[in-house]
Chains A and B, each alone.
Chain A
Amino acid sequence: MSTRTLLIGMDGATFTILDEFTRSAEGEAPVMPYLAKMLANGVKSKLLSTPNPLTPPAWVSLMTGRSPGHHGVYDFIRAEERGDDVFFTLYDARDCRTETIWSIASRQDRRIAALNFPFTAPPAKDIDGVMVPGFIPWRHLRRNTRPKGFYDRLKALPGFEAKELAWDFDQEKQALDELSDGDREAWVSYHLPREMQWFRIAEFVLREDAPDLLAVMFDGVDKIQHQAWQFIDPSLEPAEPSEYFVRMRKLCLEYFRQLDGFIEQLVEAAPEDVQVFLASDHGFTATTEVMRINTFLESKGYLSWKEMPDTEAARRREDSMFANLDWADTSAYCRTPSSNGITIRVRGDDGSGGIDPADYEAFRAKLVADLEDWTDPETGERYISEIHRREDVFPGSAMNDAPDLLLVLRDHGFVSIKNKQPAVEPREDAAGTHHPDGVLIGWGKGIRQGVELGRRRIEDVAAILLHSLGLSVPEDFEGRVPEEMFDLAYLEAHPIVEGPATRKVGDDTAGAAMGEDEKDKLMAQLQMLGYME
C-alpha cells in the first residue's frame, strides 16, 4: 500500500499571508520557500468557507461535502431551550448528521489517517485506519484514538508528549481574552512544539502505515493569527516598529517557517505520484471594533440580563462563552460570540418562553429592521453589513438548529455577548478574525501547474479527496470536483464519476436520532465543566 493522497489542513490560513510569505523580497528567501515551489507548480484558489466562517461548521463541511444545514454542526457550543431555561452543551462527532469522507473511504477499502481534525471524537466505529482526534484533552486521547493500541505506538515515539500535543482547555480559555505582551509571546511560542508533535505523528504514520489518505491538520495558524495578527499582516506593520513588535514578528515567522518545513518533509516522504492538497477552513482579516450585540438587543427591549450576585462563581459565569440572561424576559438574543447569530425564542407547547409562533415572521422582520438601522453615527454605515435569514444560508434537514439570523459584521469580527457598555467600541489594537476566503492548493500527479482557479467552496474538498482516492463522488454531495484543477490526460484516465449517495449516519450518532437521555448527559457535561450554573 502507498499513500496516494495527502491533505494538509491549516486552520485559518489565508492568501493574505501565504502570498506574502511565499514571495521573495529584495533578494531575501521567502519565509515559506517550499510552499512557494508548490504554488508555482500547482493550482491555487480561494476557498469559500461556510456562511459563518468558523472552525466547527467549516471543518465538518470539508469532511462531509455537505453544508451546515445538512450536517448540523454550527458552533462549538450547542444550546437547547427547555421552557424558561436554556441549557448549553458541546458539539461532538456524534452531532454530525452526514457521513464523513473518513467513513466513505473506509467502507470502500481505502485506509485513512485523520490527525488533529476537530469533531472526530468519539471516533466512528467504521474507520479503517488511524484517527487521532483534535480538540481533546490529553487525558482522553488514548480512549479516542483508533485503532486500539495505536496510542501505545505513539507513546513509543521519540519526543512524544501527550500534554504538549493535545487541546489544553485552560490555555485556550485564557487566549480568548486580550493577552498581555508576555502572555501573547508565550502563546505563540506554545504552538511551535505543539505543531511539531502533530508533524511527528503524521510523518510516522506516513512512513510506517502509508494509508491511502493521510490527513493532518495544523491549527496553530488560527491560534497565532487570532492573537498576533498585527505582527503578521504586512499592512499593519508600523513605520517605526518597537522592539517587542520585531521580536513578535520574528517569532511568528519562525512558526510559518517551521510549518513550511513540515509541508516539505511530508510531501517529500510521500510517493512520487502523490496528490497533495492544502486547505483551510476559513481565512483571516483584521477586526477593529467590539460589537456587543446583546447590549444592543437589550437596549431595544429584546432581552434582559440575569441579575447575578457579587460572587466569584457569578463572575465566572458572566465571563463564560454563552449568554447569561433572564430567559423569561428574553425574546431574541445571541447565544455565543462564535455563532454571530441571533436566536428568536418561540413559545413552546408548554406555554413558556418567547414569542407566539404566529408572530414569528413579523417579529423577525422588525428585528432585522432594528439591526439594519444600527449605524455608525459618524459615517452612517451599518455596523452589521449582512443579515441572513437561516432558510437562505442554512437550508437542509438540520436548519432548525441554526440561529434564526446570521450576522456579518462590517469588519468580519465576532460579536461580544458581554453585559458591558457601550454597545460598540473601537479596539485598542487590531486583532485577527475570520474571513470567508480560505485557501485551497493542489499539487502533484495530474494537477495543473501555476494555475489560479476561481473561488471554490469548502464542500468541494471532500469531493476532491474522494476523487483523488479513485472513488466516486456521492450524488448527494454539495461539493464538486473542479475539472480545471487537473490536466486533460489525467482527467481522461481518471474521470470524475458521480456515485451512490452517502450512507445514513448510524444510530450510534447523536444527530437527529439523539435521545432525551443523551441530551441530558451532554447537558450534564457542560454543567460539570462549569459552563452552567
Chain B
Amino acid sequence: MSGAESVGERVVREIVEDLIQDWGLDLEEPIGRETLLVADLDFASVDVIQLCVAVEEHYERKMGFQDLLMHDGSYVEDLALGEMIEFISKKLEDGSV
C-alpha cells in the first residue's frame, strides 16, 4: 500500500477484514489496493458476491457490481481491491446507480 489511505479504501479494507476474520488465512501482506481476492484471499465466487452485498449494505445503495465483475460477457477471474475501490468511488461520485 502506498500513500495515505482514502476513506473509500478504508471502508472496503475494513469490510474485507471483517468478512475474512474467521477464515484462518495466513496473509503475507496487509490488505490493500493490490490485494487480489482470489489469489491472495482465497475467495470463491460466492465470497465475491458476499463482499459486494456487504459494500452495498454499508453504503445503503446498489452499486451495479455486474459492470465490475463482467467483461465482454465473461466474468473476471480475479479482482484487485483497488479495482473495486475505484469502481465504488466512481459510482459514488457520479451517482450513476
Contact residues of A with B, CB < 8 Å? 122, 137, 139-140, 142-143, 155, 162, 169, 515, 517-518, 520-521, 523-525, 527-530
Contacts and interface: CB of A to CB of B under 8 A. Distances in A.
Nearest to B23: A139
A143 B19 contact: yes
Contacts of B21: 142
A528 B45 contact: yes
B46 A528 contact: yes
Given A139-B22, A528-B45, A529-B45, A521 B54 contact: no
A336 B65 CA distance: 27
Contacts of A137: 46
Contacts of A515: 62
B22 A528 contact: no
A520 B64 contact: yes
B70 A122 contact: no
B69 interface: yes
- State which size class the interface on B falls in: 20 to 34
B7 interface: no
Contacts of A529: 45-46, 49
A140 B51 CA distance: 10
Nearest to A523: B66
Tell me what chain A mostly uses at the interface: helix, strand, loop, or mixed. Answer: helix
B54 to A, nearest CB: 6
Contacts, number: 58
Say whether chain B's binding surface is mostly helix, strand, loop, or mixed. Answer: helix
A518 B54 contact: no
25 contacts: A122-B57, A139-B19, A139-B22, A139-B23, A139-B47, A139-B50, A140-B19, A142-B18, A142-B22, A143-B54, A517-B66, A517-B97, A518-B62, A520-B64, A520-B66, A521-B66, A524-B66, A524-B69, A524-B70, A525-B45, A525-B49, A528-B48, A528-B49, A528-B69, A529-B45
Nearest to B60: A508
Given A140-B50, A143-B19, A530-B45, A524 B75 contact: yes
B52 interface: yes
B80 interface: no
Interface string B4-48: 000000000000001101110000000000000000000001111
Contacts of A523: 66
B84 interface: no
B49 to A, nearest CB: 4
Contacts of A530: 45
Sorted nearest first, the 6 A-B pairs with minimum C-beta distance are A528-B45, A520-B66, A517-B64, A525-B49, A517-B62, A524-B66
A182 B28 CA distance: 40
